[in-house]
Structure 1
Amino acid sequence: MIKEKMKKTHVPFRLNILFLFVFLLFSILILRLGMIQIVQGEDFERISEQTENVTAKSSAPRGKMYDRYGRVIVDNEPTFTLTYIRNQNTKQEERLEVARKLASFIEMDTDKVTERDLKDFWIMTRPEKAKAKLSEEEWEELESKKAYRLQIDRINEEDLKEITSDKDELKIAAIKRQMDSGYALSSQSIKKGLTREEIAQVSENLEDLPGVDISPDAERVYPYDETMETMFGNLGQIPKESLDAYTMKGYDNNDLVGISYLEKQYEDLLRGQKSMKKYVTDKSGKPIGEPEVIPGKRGNDLVLTVDIDLQQELETILEEELRKARARGNPYADRAYAIGMDPDTGEILAFGGTKYSSEDNEYIEYSYGTLSEAYEMGSAVKGASVLTGYETGVIGHGTTLYDTPISIPATKDKASYANLGWVNDVEALERSSNVYMFRIAMMMAGYDYVPNTSGIPWDPSTFNDVRYHFNQFGLGNKTGIDMPIETTGINGGIQQIGNLMDLMIGQFDTYTPLQMAQYISTIANDGKRIQPHFLKEVHEASNVDGLSNIIVDQFDTNVMNHIQMSQSDINRVQNGLWRVTNASNGTATKYFKGTDFTHAGKTGTAEVKFGRDNNIDGFNLTFVGYAPYEDPEIALAVVVPSLSSDRNESVNKDIARRLFKAYFDLKDEPKPAASIEEKEKEE
């Protein structure tokens, strides 16, 4: 009985302890909730209404470009930019007041101010006059957007003269335009390249200029002036049609991007990583506290394949030789192109064009013509013609054909520059026999030629057969150059047997100077069509002058295809090209006498009509070649179109000889250290 009583009294005691413990926990919880709700409620409510935005960005310098020996050829010049960041709740009147203040501190270009900008500014600054543009009935009947559009339509030239005639007000309008072109909490550039005086004036008044700041920036500069400047490309606003694609990559609408050539091709590599200010804002868009700053980074540096010394020599040679041609009585010698590339790697060593500007009476840089201009190249293509003859079996090594004019009804006699008599395959290259190539075309087409006889059957599909073989050298195909654009020339289609014969001597389809460089490189390197390219290496950006030692990427040699011809066939044509510049009857021998390097090549003279109405008879003069002959280091293509002088004009050969010589002269000169590590070793 005693044990049972003790057991009954022990259980309620434990329960009481448990109830007390639970009561204390609930009391603490209620107290804590009360503190949160009553004492800290407003703070937590404000925090819950805050939003985080990563929006304010400042531009970062682009990567630099260097030549193959580490010399800066595209640089960044430090500058300062006036920027503006507006809050989401900033009113038009507040921005206008900031613009008015800025106008007293800086000069501003007003050329970009459009008529619509002026009309918007006029309405904002003249509210009473703007209201009077509509009747009371119109204000009552029309929606606000329609009313505004009607106001815009009714603003006339006299109204706008109130702004345009006042330089100060026009400047305010230009500043306001830039301030409005961004969006909330984005860093909008107002003016680049601030002067010291402007920096001082703005800096002293920043407290009265909400949203305004001065940011370090950089502008593209070219240490070698206009040398190759076209191929470097330009920067500009993102094209409308590409805006979505750029936005997906993290660009802002007002960013500058590469819009042409190398700047566009390698935009992803050259683009810098922007510095950002990470804001916390309340619901009204007002920043709370100081922003978190995320530093930016300059874009990667590109090492190009070009030798800037050789490039400068190329541009000088083109201009000087064109001037000489004009002095010899060639008034239409207005442009020339030349390309030097490594036939084994595809590296572009020098690449240029020169064009006469009648406005300035000067020759200007015209490099993009090497990619975009296509011409009939004449006999320079005959190396491909002979190899096509070998491959199709219509000729063999040592095949002789008789060179005499060919007469086809209703067609001007087709002949070489002279009646050469019996010539074999290598002699046909050495002496540049047109008839030998004509006969290859006729045999391929099954054309059983009889002089002055019409109706002889032939196979029109031979046009496609010839082009198939020419394409293997890159003639008529894109070369694959690392540029955003290049043309492939004009395919003349399938026409008459005489056109097929012209195709074999480079006087029917058209090709670009770059295609000619790829073609001769393919022969020089024993049959590999190599992709030409400007990019050699990509280096991580350095914080000091010079290239960093960290290579991010490099361009590997890309063999696009091997030609189908045998090595013995290629060797045979190489020998024919050697004879062009060395043998007694070579069409270029006298121009290459006395050189201290071995060489091979092929001249070309295409008869053309040019001028506004195609009423001028003339010639396109070309040369393709390589050196040294035994182990080629450089392949050249030279194109001088639309000359009116006789066919013996030497400008193409003169350019080629001088370029070869410049290459070998510069090759022997000591080269600068390219990377920081190499420079430190020299020191």
Structure 2
Amino acid sequence: MKRAKFKSLDAINKQVLKSRINIIMLVIFILFLVVIIRLGYLQIVLGDTYQEQVENAQYVEINQSVPRGEIYDRNGNLLVGNSSEQAIYFTRHRNMSNFEIMDVAKELSSYLTMDTDSLTLRDKQDYLINNYPNELKKIMPEQVTLLENGGISQDSFNEEAYEQVDEEFANSILSEEDLNTLAVYVTMVSASELNPVIVKSEDVTDEEFARINEDLDELTGISTGLDWQRDYPHGDTLRTILGEVSTNEEGLPRELVEYYQALGYSRNDRVGKSYLEFQYEDVLRGKKPQVKYTTDKSGKITGEETIQEGKAGDDLYLTIDIELQKELEKVAEHHLLSIRKLAEDIVQMDEGRGNIDYTIIPEYIDTVQLVVQDPNNGDILAMVGKQINEDGDIVDYDYGTLTATYVPGSSIKGATVATGYQQDVFEVGEVVIDEPLYISSDQPRASFFNTDSRVPVDDQRALMVSSNSYMFKVALGLLGLDYTQNMTLPTDIQQAGYDLRNGLNQFGLGISTGIDLPNEATGLSPQLDATDMLNLAIGQYDTYTALQLSQYMSTFANDGKRVQQHLAKEVRSSDANEKGAVIKSYGTNVLNTVDLTNTEIDQIQAGFYDVFNTHDQARDMYGTGWDAYHELEPKAAGKTGTAESFREGEAVLNQTYLGYAPYDNPDMAFSIIFPTLPGTVPFFPAQYMGQDVIKKYYEIYYGQDEESLYKYDASEFYQELDYGKY
């Protein structure tokens, strides 16, 4: 029997160790193989992709200030320009901490004097926490000790400090140098990496600019350049309509952050935030330069290369005629102040005589609005709004022409007549009896020119004398009714109410005009009953803007074509030396054509002509605008309106004057609103403003001689009030 062989313990251990080493070597080999395969995949398969990403990471569209496009009027007169100013910029390096930024701020603050008024209490509290622990220990010793011993966190300590440090304490500790440093820091700390922000641009002195330029190598991330500010050669003229641009400090306005960020803007971009600057932001904004940065391992910028130069925004040319605008502002101010003065004089005269049985409150005469446009293409030539404030000063209210709505009165009766034609209520030239209407459960209704008789009028004469009775009968016809004394009105007027409102809408009343501005009001259109419908037919129910009334009158002047109103005429490329090339033009856009025959249009136009120009001596009938307009050459046409309203419980009148000229070939249309005038008979003679508007237009566009503006005579007008003359 053979003896069994046994390995020694030492041999066994060696064999196990060898096996383990082999396994380890195999694992290492496999790992190396995986790494090699992975590196090969990254370099060969994805190499180009990663190289592109690396390159792209160095290309940054920086927030270097570039000028916005300029805004001009229709004749090339500058309305909004740019003025350049010296600016100090800061660019945050990659991985740059807030503490490092504070070090730069402390250094830069010795060169600059900053405005510190906008610093918040939180800014000051944070500065105290980081720089004045001993001073804080005096008012919160327990918390400082706990922080030093690790008993509370820094966040908890900060929250306690925010509670205990008030404005008075902060100001007692912080010196002017501290506040100046803090103001520099606050502007710098908001910067994103590799994206320059302006530290200071307003009132940078030549000395500050020169000193910083000399020491740029010592100021980390600091550079110098130019910034721009909007400049307004015509002062406050159209200032609101032109719009606002956000400041460097503001960046994207809070209420527009989401809107602009969705379009790819950065939070600190300067943007248009109202009216034309907002509406045409895509045109006016400049294109930022693209820069390729080179950084070292720490993220510090070591070099930069401009890949694409920045470009100023394109220029916007408006339909506005700034000469006409400024002249009509003078006209509006003259009439507003003169009518206010007329009211004051009448009140003073009546205190001695006591003959007038009307409530006249001069302070209510505080607003006038005017729109002038080309009726053929929708060009807005002038938008004028004026108000008298509580101090008695005239202030601009141009934006009221599209945001404020009023009950207009009889000026919209042309649309009522047109609706009557379309709904087969009356035919052209059909004679209707103007008479007081007695309707069950309603007050008697009559025309102002005829309060107690039966007078035959056709459509043309109804417009001339502003017959309420004719318009009431149009409304009754829409309800399928003929007038009978003491008749009862139906309760179901849904279809008839729709037909009447739709008839007004087709002329732009109660709907958007299409104006290229934000915040346009379309007016109030409350629910109708049958009585309300009668009021709507004479302009005593729904409310409209001056822009809507101008579009309405323009539609008749343009033979039934409702044209979109617009302020933009064209966009041109920016050129510092001359007009740039036209990039885009804004032409005529017909929104709808009113369904009327030529005969029907002509008949309403003839009625508008009579309003301004006809005195029927045989019947002793005057057009309601005859006094002010009949001497104009070339002749004009239009419609007047007076609506009853209330202000602070007192009865007042909204007066509207609409027209177009010349009558035979109109190239201007206008609307005037004088709200809350005294409720007197005769009305306060604001219609003379319309006369002066047309004269001023003829002077500028037709070369007619300049005429003085209408002067109101309190003595003459007092007699008319006393005797009730119309």
Tell me which interval the TM-score lies in, with the shorter structure as reference length. Answer: 0.7 to 0.9
Of residues 86, 89, 100 in structure 2, which corresponds to 1:83?
89
C-alpha separation between the residues in 1 aligned to 2:380 and 2:478?
36
Q: Is the 8 A contact 2:563 2:592 kept in 1?
A: yes
Partner of residue 387, structure 2: 355
- 1:565-580 equivalences under 5 Å are 565-580=596-611
C-alpha separation between the residues in 1 aligned to 2:277 and 2:650?
39
Q: What TM-score do the two structures reach when normalised by structure 2? A: 0.80
- 1:110-259 equivalences under 5 Å are 110-129=116-135, 134=143, 140=150, 144-162=154-172, 166-193=175-202, 194-236=204-246, 237-240=251-254, 242-259=256-273
- Are 2:542 and 1:509 aligned? yes
Partner of residue 679, structure 1: none
- Are 2:591 and 1:560 aligned? yes
SS of residue in 1 equivalent to 2:521: coil
Q: Is the 8 A contact 1:492 1:509 kept in 2?
A: yes
C-alpha separation between the residues in 1 aligned to 2:127 and 2:472?
72
SS of residue in 2 equivalent to 1:258: coil
C-alpha separation between the residues in 1 aligned to 2:56 and 2:340?
74
Query: 1:416–1:284: structure 2 CA closer, same or farther, 3 Å change rule?
Result: same
Q: Is the 8 A contact 1:56 1:278 kept in 2?
A: no
Query: 1:365–1:51: structure 2 CA closer, same or farther, 3 Å change rule?
Result: closer
- Are 2:339 and 1:333 aligned? no
C-alpha separation between the residues in 1 aligned to 2:336 and 2:289?
49
Of residues 40, 60, 66 in structure 1, which corresponds to 2:72?
66
Q: 413-422 vs 287-296, which deviates more?
A: 287-296
Instruction: Give structure 1 stretches of 5+ with no counterpart.
Output: 1-46, 671-683
Partner of residue 639, structure 2: 602
Q: 596-605 vs 244-253, which deviates more?
A: 244-253
Q: CA deviation at 1:186?
A: 1.4
C-alpha separation between the residues in 2 aligned to 1:275 and 1:50?
15
Q: CA deviation at 1:508?
A: 0.3
Aligned residue type for 2:431: T
Query: 1:284–1:457: structure 2 CA closer, same or farther, 3 Å change rule?
Result: closer
Q: Is the 8 A contact 1:605 1:647 kept in 2?
A: no
Q: CA deviation at 1:404?
A: 2.2
Partner of residue 8, structure 2: none
Aligned residue type for 1:286: K
Q: CA deviation at 1:476?
A: 0.8
SS of residue in 1 equivalent to 2:370: strand
Partner of residue 673, structure 1: none
Q: 202-211 vs 172-181, which deviates more?
A: 202-211
Q: CA deviation at 1:151?
A: 3.7
Q: Is the 8 A contact 1:445 1:458 kept in 2?
A: no
Q: CA deviation at 1:174?
A: 1.8
Of residues 310, 320, 324 in structure 1, which corresponds to 2:338?
324
Count of residue pairs the alignment pairs up: 617
Partner of residue 514, structure 2: 480
Of residues 631, 634, 639 in structure 1, which corresponds to 2:665?
631
Q: CA deviation at 1:366?
A: 0.8
- Are 2:84 and 1:57 aligned? no
- Are 2:438 and 1:407 aligned? yes
Q: 108-117 vs 447-456, which deviates more?
A: 447-456
SS of residue in 2 equivalent to 1:174: helix
Aligned residue type for 2:641: G
Aligned residue type for 1:507: Q
C-alpha separation between the residues in 2 aligned to 1:452 and 1:405?
11
- Are 2:428 and 1:397 aligned? yes
Q: Is the 8 A contact 1:81 1:191 kept in 2?
A: yes
Q: Is the 8 A contact 1:445 1:460 kept in 2?
A: no
- 1:535-550 equivalences under 5 Å are 535-544=568-577, 546-548=578-580, 550=581
SS of residue in 2 equivalent to 1:643: strand
C-alpha separation between the residues in 2 aligned to 1:388 and 1:208?
78
Q: CA offsets per residue over residues 389-426 of structure 1, 9 Å max, x none? A: 11111111122222222233443322211316221111
Query: 1:583–1:356: structure 2 CA closer, same or farther, 3 Å change rule?
Result: same
Q: CA deviation at 1:448?
A: 4.7
Of residues 252, 267, 271 in structure 1, which corresponds to 2:285?
271
C-alpha separation between the residues in 2 aligned to 1:206 and 1:667?
57
C-alpha separation between the residues in 2 aligned to 1:254 and 1:189?
10
Q: 112-121 vs 335-344, which deviates more?
A: 112-121
C-alpha separation between the residues in 2 aligned to 1:130 and 1:90?
28
Query: 1:312–1:158: structure 2 CA closer, same or farther, 3 Å change rule?
Result: closer
Q: Is the 8 A contact 2:473 2:482 kept in 1?
A: no
Q: Is the 8 A contact 1:610 1:618 kept in 2?
A: yes
Query: 1:133–1:494: structure 2 CA closer, same or farther, 3 Å change rule?
Result: farther
Query: 1:126–1:625: structure 2 CA closer, same or farther, 3 Å change rule?
Result: same
Q: Is the 8 A contact 2:59 2:291 kept in 1?
A: no
Query: 1:163–1:649: structure 2 CA closer, same or farther, 3 Å change rule?
Result: farther
C-alpha separation between the residues in 2 aligned to 1:133 and 1:463?
76
SS of residue in 2 equivalent to 1:536: strand
Q: CA deviation at 1:58?
A: 0.6
Partner of residue 466, structure 1: 500
Aligned residue type for 2:179: L
Q: Is the 8 A contact 2:371 2:547 kept in 1?
A: yes
Q: CA offsets per residue over residues 359-398 of structure 1, 9 Å max, x none? A: 3x21111111011100000001000010011111111112
Instruction: Give structure 2 stretches of 5+ with no counterpart.
Output: 1-52, 344-361, 616-621, 705-726
Aligned residue type for 1:432: S
Q: Is the 8 A contact 1:163 1:169 kept in 2?
A: no
How big is the alpha-carbon RMSD for the aligned residues of Structure 1 and Structure 2?
Answer: 2.5
Of residues 364, 385, 395 in structure 1, which corresponds to 2:395?
364
Partner of residue 588, structure 1: 625
Q: CA offsets per residue over residues 454-502 of structure 1, 9 Å max, x none? A: 566663431111011111111111111011220110002122x221111
Query: 1:663–1:163: structure 2 CA closer, same or farther, 3 Å change rule?
Result: farther
Query: 1:645–1:80: structure 2 CA closer, same or farther, 3 Å change rule?
Result: farther
C-alpha separation between the residues in 2 aligned to 1:455 and 1:626?
37
Q: CA offsets per residue over residues 78-121 of structure 1, 9 Å max, x none? A: 21222211213334344334333443433322232222222222
Q: Is the 8 A contact 2:634 2:661 kept in 1?
A: yes
C-alpha separation between the residues in 1 aligned to 2:199 and 2:193?
15
Q: CA offsets per residue over residues 130-188 of structure 1, 9 Å max, x none? A: 58573655774655545543443343344322356x43322322221111122222111
Q: 52-61 vs 363-372, which deviates more?
A: 52-61
Of residues 295, 298, 304 in structure 1, which corresponds to 2:318?
304
C-alpha separation between the residues in 2 aligned to 1:656 and 1:48?
68
- Are 2:526 and 1:492 aligned? yes
Q: 235-244 vs 433-442, which deviates more?
A: 235-244
Query: 1:252–1:422: structure 2 CA closer, same or farther, 3 Å change rule?
Result: same
Q: Is the 8 A contact 2:289 2:306 kept in 1?
A: no
C-alpha separation between the residues in 2 aligned to 1:244 and 1:362?
39
Q: CA deviation at 1:206?
A: 2.9
Aligned residue type for 2:73: D
Q: CA offsets per residue over residues 311-349 of structure 1, 9 Å max, x none? A: 001111111100110011133211111111111100111
Q: CA deviation at 1:129?
A: 4.8
Q: CA offsets per residue over residues 256-298 of structure 1, 9 Å max, x none? A: 1101100000000000112343212234321233443632111
SS of residue in 1 equivalent to 2:303: coil
Query: 1:135–1:117: structure 2 CA closer, same or farther, 3 Å change rule?
Result: closer
